[in-house]
Chains A and B, each alone.
Chain A
């Protein structure tokens, strides 16, 4: 009697379920098997898959030593190692699945589910035992015991929390510090060279840092933009006065989420933050004209030193970057 194929592991069919055997709460509903020929063929299939897996694993080992990762940025090695490992895994996994589907008896089992809750008597007993324990301990009776226990256990986590105190300094003044102060020269972020009046083209933007900057801490708030506009383009009187000869400096750190802003549109003089698209009008005190930022970018007062290099005339007059609770 050749059994119907492709039934294994599928959803129950319309066949009449017949109880074959009963062991514990689980029994087999129906059981069929492949014919012997089919079984032999399936055996070959599984073996072939496992052999492919073996071959691929050997290929992996050979490729590991034979293919240099200096070639083509290691891509050849990556293709060879990854490709052979993937094929090996597919073959082995496929072998398991064909084995399960074709060589195991095709059976559909049924099992009872049991109630998840305990019999009511047992539930009540457990409740009683628990409450009796509470009674025995006298938690209801001895008020002072209960309260002192709460006090002790309540304070128990505190030492653990307090010990986290030295994870970092307290915020306070350092929130405002940027590394800019009166007289410090503006240097190009990339070249680290000071910038002379007249070296920036009209419409140009240079990312500047305070001279002698290092890579840490307050310097993350220091990045600023030196922008040169054309004559008469700056609309704001204050902006003009804080700059030098149509050169102005603004903080590069977005007042929204702190991304460094970089995209200046030459025509509109709009500056766009690439992270969340806050847009600032750079000829109008860097006012926000679109996006989630709430405040204009802070402007840095600049001047020229005796050699004609740009210098800061003081620190930023307000906190740079995103808002925080302590910010006034």
Chain B
């Protein structure tokens, strides 16, 4: 404690203090021991001094990270008791209703964990809740990154890694959900098998190799187990490490604000402030998941019974992140082609393979597409507000709308029975909405964004309405408007992309995609040469669409000074 700020003066020759207490001596000794071997002191110093910006939305990724830690811990515990085997045994555990029933060892050991291992049920529920929160927080974290443009250069590759993490998270969740071999998970596996089977030419081979024969085979549980506990978590761990190291190296983005520029970070130092807070947050996330596991029952597999190819429970819904696939399968028209003694079942291939393929690829490549359209090659460390980039925000809401209709489709039977609608009508309405709603969502969102921008510009130009009415010498009445406080105006100007030093000329500096360089006043990029080729023409068209100039704020009122 005594030498806390000893190195504050940087250059001056530093010596270790004479009288060190035992604790200080031990700490310095350890640090020196490590430094002697790795030369780690300068890295350590830099890391501890690293500044992290503060905003609540930056904690979403932390939730994902910490729920992953919890998944690893609880998962290891579960593997100590789980038997990944499809050997049929007779259940003799303490859950009375299923005693004497033939079932696979996988299901029997899941019952054993739930009813005969103290704290086993808690661990199972912690693991399942953590999985849901893991995927959910990844998705919400992605919303934040998308709508604020945090994926722009230089963070594009990290967005790609993040997308892969999300997809792997979904696969990992599905694999884990299938392991207990209960009736519900067996139905999910059966559908997954059919989806793989629908792939032309190789489908049945993929299935036979994965399942070790025709469905259900004898191998899928033990193979899924090793995929679930070793292969995917290993890849997840490696990619999460890469994700974090890139974040660390590049420093976190931040929202515009007083004193904040593209070239600085303002916030809390990693050590001790951020370190203490984020560890506290780790415990809070763990606590929240444990509380859910204690009081909110999840996946009570004993109620479903063991898997049986001849049975299914009605109204069975998968975990939420699979629902969109379930919805696309349900909404798809029943197309199937028979040619040359072969069958292509579009009714599964399109909703189960092609559609998710397109969706995930678009999601992953969005930063590259946006950069290509806007010709934006600049670095971005300051975030956009969604309203300031209407086309991106519109596209995001449009995609979300499409996704949400798919999710609703995954619950069409529940919707129909809850509201007493006809199931067929519900499905047809959803089919129409899937096509019609997204473009409307785009238009409305863009309009909203432009309206909000308009409001901001009015605030900046005219200030706040005071409610004070004054009469001018000419006889006209005006309402006195008070300019925004300087700092607020500065933040707002930055957010909407005005260069504060060039007042007046500036819509659409942001539209040019770069807060740094001055943009052409009309918001259009001046193209000197005519674009050649279909792609180049399309690009110019898209760029015009992106950069559609903002309407200037009409100067309807005379200013009181005049």
Stretch from B31-39, B335-343, B399-407, B500-508 contacting the other chain:
B335-343
The reply to whether B215 and A111 form a contact with Cβ atoms under 8 Å apart is no
Cα of A325 to Cα of B175 in the assembled complex, Å? 25
Inter-subunit contact A257/B251 (CB<8 Å): no
Contact of A86 among B102, B194, B258, B291 (CB under 8 A): B291
* Pairs of residues from A and B, 6 with the lowest C-beta to C-beta distance, nearest first: A82-B294, A93-B283, A96-B280, A89-B287, A294-B336, A223-B310
Interface hit among A71-79, A141-149, A237-245? A71-79
- Residue of B102, B336, B412 ringed by the most chain A CB atoms within 10 A: B336
Q: How far is the CA of A174 from the CA of B193 in the complex (A)?
A: 16
Determine the chain A residues whose CB is within 8 A of the CB of B559 once the complex forms: none
> What is the bound-complex CA distance between A7 and B283, given in angstroms?
23
Contact B267 A109 (CB under 8 A): yes
A133 to B146, CA, bound (A): 40
Q: Is A252 an interface position by the 8 A CB rule? A: yes
Report which B residues bind A (CB closer than 8 A): 7-10, 45-46, 49-51, 54-55, 88, 94-95, 102, 114-119, 121-122, 125-126, 154, 187, 190-191, 193-195, 197-205, 207-219, 250-251, 255, 257-260, 262-269, 272-273, 276-277, 279-284, 286-288, 290-291, 293-295, 308-316, 326, 329-336, 338, 341-345, 347-348, 351, 379, 381, 412-413, 423-424, 427, 485, 487
The answer to whether A78 touches B282 (Cβ under 8 A) is: no
B44 to chain A, nearest CB (A): 12
Q: Counting CB contacts under 8 A, is A40 at the interface?
A: no
Contact present for A262 and B203 (CB under 8 Å): no
- In the complex, the answer to whether A294 meets B88 with C-beta atoms within 8 Å is no
| B265 adjacent to A12 (CB under 8 Å) | no
Interchain CA distance A294-B334 in the complex, whole Å? 5
Query: A105's closest neighbor in chain B, by CB?
Result: B273
Partner of A322, one of B197, B211, B276, B338: B197
A29 at interface (Cβ–Cβ under 8 A)? Answer: yes
Given contacts A113-B265, A209-B310, A256-B347, contact A290 B330 (CB under 8 A): no
A: number of interface residues (CB 8 Å): 100
Show 12 A/B contacts (Cβ-Cβ < 8 Å), sorted by A: A81-B118, A90-B283, A92-B280, A96-B283, A100-B273, A112-B264, A115-B379, A167-B208, A175-B204, A221-B309, A256-B329, A293-B347
Q: Find A93's partner among B199, B280, B294 (CB 8 Å cutoff).
A: B280
Q: Mark A30-50, 1 if CB is under 8 A from B, else 0.
A: 000000000000000000000
> Quick one: which of A93, A168, A276 contacts B281, CB cutoff 8 A?
A93
Q: Which of B7, B214, B413 contacts A23 (CB 8 A)?
A: B7
Output the least CB separation between B469 and chain A (Å).
30
Q: A78-B121, A100-B273, A169-B213 are in contact. Are A92 and B294 (CB under 8 A)?
A: no
Given contacts A257-B348, A323-B198, contact A83 B277 (CB under 8 A): no
The answer to whether B191 and A257 have CB atoms under 8 Å apart is yes
A261–B257 CA distance with the chains assembled, in angstroms: 60
CB contact list, A74-125 vs B, under 8 A: 74, 77-79, 81-83, 85-90, 92-97, 99-101, 104, 107-113, 115-116
Instruction: Please tell me if the beta carbons of A73 and B95 are within 8 angstroms of each other in the complex.
Output: yes
Residues of chain A within 8 A (CB-CB) of B288 are 86
Which B residues touch A257, using CB under 8 A? 190-191, 194-195, 329, 348
Which of these binds chain B: A193-201, A210-218, A227-235, A302-310? A210-218
Tell whether, in the assembled complex, residue A221 and residue B214 are in contact, meaning their CB atoms are under 8 Å apart.
yes
Minimum CB–CB distance from B282 to chain A (whole Å) comes to 7
**Does the CB pair A292–B333 fall under 8 Å?**
yes
Contact partner of B264 (CB less than 8 A), chosen from A73, A107, A113, is A113
A111 to B8, alpha carbons, bound, how many Å?
A: 15
A12 touches B290 (CB 8 A): no
Shortest distance in angstroms between A34's beta carbon and chain B's nearest beta carbon? 14
Of B195, B209, B279, which one neighbours A164 at CB under 8 angstroms?
Answer: B209
* A-B pair number, CB within 8 angstroms: 330
**CB-CB < 8 A to A74: which residues of B?**
114-115, 121
- Contact bitstring A258-285, B, C-beta under 8 A = 1, else 0: 1111110000000000111110000000
**Out of B259, B276, B344, which one reaches A100, CB within 8 Å?**
B276
Q: In the assembly, what is the distance between CA of A275 and CA of B327, in Å?
A: 10
- Min CB distance B224 to A, Å, is 13
What is the minimal beta-carbon distance from A13 to any residue of chain B, in angstroms?
8
Note all chain B residues with C-beta closer than 8 A to A26. 49-51, 269
B345 in contact with A10 (CB, 8 Å):
no
- Residue pair A292, B330 in contact (C-beta under 8 Å): yes
Mostly helix, strand, loop or mixed at chain B's interface?
A: mixed
In the complex, which residues of chain B have a beta carbon less than 8 angstroms from the beta carbon of A9? 54, 268, 273, 277
A181 close to chain B: CB less than 8 A = no
Residues on A with beta carbons closer than 8 Å to the beta carbon of B345: 294, 322-324
Separation in Å of the A211 CB from the closest CB of chain B?
A: 15
Residues of A near B190 (CB, < 8 A) are 257-259
CA distance A74 to B115 in the complex (A): 6
* Max chain B Cβ within 10 angstroms of own Cβ: one of A82, A171, A177, A274: A82
The CA-CA distance from A170 to B88 in the complex, in Å, is 25
- Residue in B204, B217, B487 whose beta carbon sits within 8 Å of that of A326 in the complex: B204
Least CB distance from B343 to A in Å reads: 4
Q: Is A6 an interface residue (CB 8 A)?
A: no
Contact A93 B287, beta carbon cutoff 8 Å: yes
Minimum CB–CB distance from B263 to chain A (whole Å) comes to 5
Interface membership of A17, Cβ < 8 A = yes
**Minimum C-beta distance from A85 to chain B (A):** 5
Are the CB atoms of B213 and A217 closer together than 8 Å?
Answer: yes
Q: Which residues of A contact B412 (CB under 8 A)?
A: 277
Whether a CB of chain B sits under 8 angstroms from the CB of A219 is yes
Q: Please report the C-alpha to C-alpha distance between residue A291 and residue B273 in the assembled complex, in whole angstroms.
A: 57
| Contact (Cβ within 8 A) A259 B187 | yes
Taking a contact as CB atoms under 8 Å apart, the answer to whether A167 and B212 are in contact is yes
Complex formed: what's the CA distance from A66 to B359 in Å?
52
Docked Cα-Cα span, A171 to B196, in Å, equals 13
CA distance A88 to B287 in the complex (A): 8
B347 near A23 (CB under 8 angstroms)? no
**Are B208 and A217 touching (Cβ within 8 A)?**
no
User: Across the interface, do B309 and A223 meet the contact criterion of CB distance under 8 Å?
Assistant: yes
- A217: chain B residues within 8 A (beta carbon): 213-214, 216-218
Q: Nearest residue in A to B381 (C-beta to C-beta)?
A: A113
- Which of B126, B250, B283, B338 has its CB near the most chain A CB atoms (within 10 A)? B283
- On whether A90 and B342 interact (CB within 8 A), knowing A174-B214, A223-B309, A294-B334, the answer reads no
The complex places the Cα of A327 from the Cα of B344 at a distance, in Å, of 9
Closest to A110 in B: B266
A220 CB within 8 Å of chain B: yes
Question: Do B343 and A24 have beta carbons less than 8 Å apart?
Answer: no
Query: With a CB–CB cut-off of 8 A, which chain B residues contact A5?
Result: none
CA of A257 to CA of B332, assembled, Å: 12
A69–B116 touching, CB < 8 Å: yes
Q: Is the CB of A258 within 8 A of B194?
A: yes
Please determine whether B259 and A17 come into contact, CB atoms closer than 8 angstroms: yes
Q: Which residues of A contact B219 (CB under 8 A)?
A: 167-168
On whether A89 and B283 interact (CB within 8 A), knowing A74-B115, A215-B102, the answer reads: yes
State in angstroms the CA–CA spacing of A217 and B213 once bound together: 7
CA distance A17 to B264 in the complex (A): 14
Which residues of A have CB within 8 Å of B116?
69
Chain B residues with CB under 8 Å of A164's CB are 209
Partner of B209, one of A89, A167, A223, A258: A167
Known: A9-B268, A10-B54, A86-B291. A259 touches B191 (CB 8 A): yes
Contacts of B260 in A (CB 8 A): 12
